[in-house]
Structure 1
Amino acid sequence: MADALWILVANSSRAKLFATDERAEKWDLREEFQHEESRTFSRTLLNQPDNPNAGSLHKPQPENEPDARQQLEHDRFARELAARLERGVNDHAYDRVVIAAPPGFLGLLRKHISKQVHQRLMLDMRADYVNVPIRELPERIPLS
């Protein structure tokens, strides 16, 4: 049986995926995600030439823009989370989804979520709740 609702709280380097039923009384932590490269300073990333995410054929090389390498990592993490939400749709694991993330990262997530995930999007919030204790999240994220 599918969960009624998934809640993804994320920022550019960490995320937590919760599930709840239609009453939203109890939130269960399903998965936690970490993307350490997003936490690394841009200069450190630039000094790692062996990084496979260091640009592409269609984008400027990271050396040409100071924060480009870090932006590539943020984008990579957003793609990873979007893919996880897509797998949930394909597995019929949830009916609706809520996403809470800081504005810039929320924009990246919106860019990468599929049409099927978007159709299930009940709410997206511009807020970083990754470090908020689970018991406080229901007060901050309105589900009704």
Structure 2
Amino acid sequence: MKKTVWIVVANRGVARLFQATQATGPLEELEAFIHPEARLRDRDLVSDRPGRGFERAGPGSHAEEPDSSVAEVEAGQFALELSRFLLKGHGDGRFDMLVLMAAPAFLGALRDRLGGAMKNHILLELAKNLPHADAATVRSYLPERLYSTVGG
């Protein structure tokens, strides 16, 4: 049985979507996604200074550090945007299986946002930062046979 596999190659600022329609065939690029906010520094994204916190004892105060950097928040937004696209694509029957190839920190963010609904459809996860690689290079990191064919 012929299956369609989507391969997402991403980091926090760029993602490319490839498709394989044969277990041992080449990849075809379908889409590219860019999230320019992820490439900016925190100071470029935030216009004001950090808030002030006061010491529990004494008159001193200090600058408050945010729980997460703006870049991390932007990466999470991009992961959410990609996951919504992938969930819709799967719901529309555009692919059967999914390969995630992403920079290590972004791979976790993307996996978290995909949630349990896609877990059984993820064929492979690779912690590689290759969103600028060509299709042949991406294919070289994948198994020779992406999936097994049952009954033919």
1:131, distance to aligned residue in structure 2 (A): 1.4
Query: Cα–Cα, structure 1 residues 127 and 96, in superposed 2: closer, same or farther, change >3 Å?
Result: same
Structure having the higher helix fraction is: 1
Structure 1 unaligned segments of length 5 or more: list them.
50-62
Kindly report which structure 2 residues correspond to 1:69-88, keeping only aligned pairs within 5 A, or say none. Answer: 69-88=70-89
State the SS of the aligned residue for 1:110: helix
Contact (CA 8 Å) 2:20, 2:26: kept in 1 or not? yes
State the SS of the aligned residue for 1:64: coil
State the SS of the aligned residue for 2:133: coil
In 1, distance between residues paired with 2:48 and 2:99? 36
- Matching residue of 2:131: 130
In 2, distance between residues paired with 1:12 and 1:38? 6
**Letter matched to residue 17 of structure 1:** L
Percentage of identical aligned residues = 27
1:31, distance to aligned residue in structure 2 (A): 0.7
**Letter matched to residue 132 of structure 2:** N
Structure 2 unaligned segments of length 5 or more: list them.
50-63, 146-152
Query: Cα–Cα, structure 1 residues 84 and 143, in superposed 2: closer, same or farther, change >3 Å?
Result: farther
In 1, distance between residues paired with 2:39 and 2:133? 19
- Matching residue of 1:7: 7
Contact (CA 8 Å) 1:89, 1:116: kept in 2 or not? no
Contact (CA 8 Å) 2:87, 2:114: kept in 1 or not? yes
Moved more, 110-119 or 99-108: 110-119
How big is the alpha-carbon RMSD for the aligned residues of Structure 1 and Structure 2? 2.1
**TM-superposition CA deviations, 1:91-134 (whole Å, max 9, x none):** 01111000000111001011100323221000011001111122
- Matching residue of 1:110: 111
**TM-superposition CA deviations, 1:53-112 (whole Å, max 9, x none):** xxxxxxxxxx73286211110000000111111011110111100000011100101110
Q: Which has the higher contact order (CA 8 A, sep 6+)?
A: 2
Relative to the length of structure 2, the TM-score reads 0.78
State the SS of the aligned residue for 2:96: strand
- Larger Rg, first or second structure (1 or 2): 2
**Letter matched to residue 28 of structure 2:** D
**Letter matched to residue 112 of structure 1:** R
- Matching residue of 1:38: 38
Contact (CA 8 Å) 2:26, 2:139: kept in 1 or not? no
Query: Cα–Cα, structure 1 residues 143 and 100, in superposed 2: closer, same or farther, change >3 Å?
Result: farther
Query: Cα–Cα, structure 1 residues 48 and 118, in superposed 2: closer, same or farther, change >3 Å?
Result: farther
Number of residue pairs the alignment of both structures matches: 130
Relative to the length of structure 1, the TM-score reads 0.82
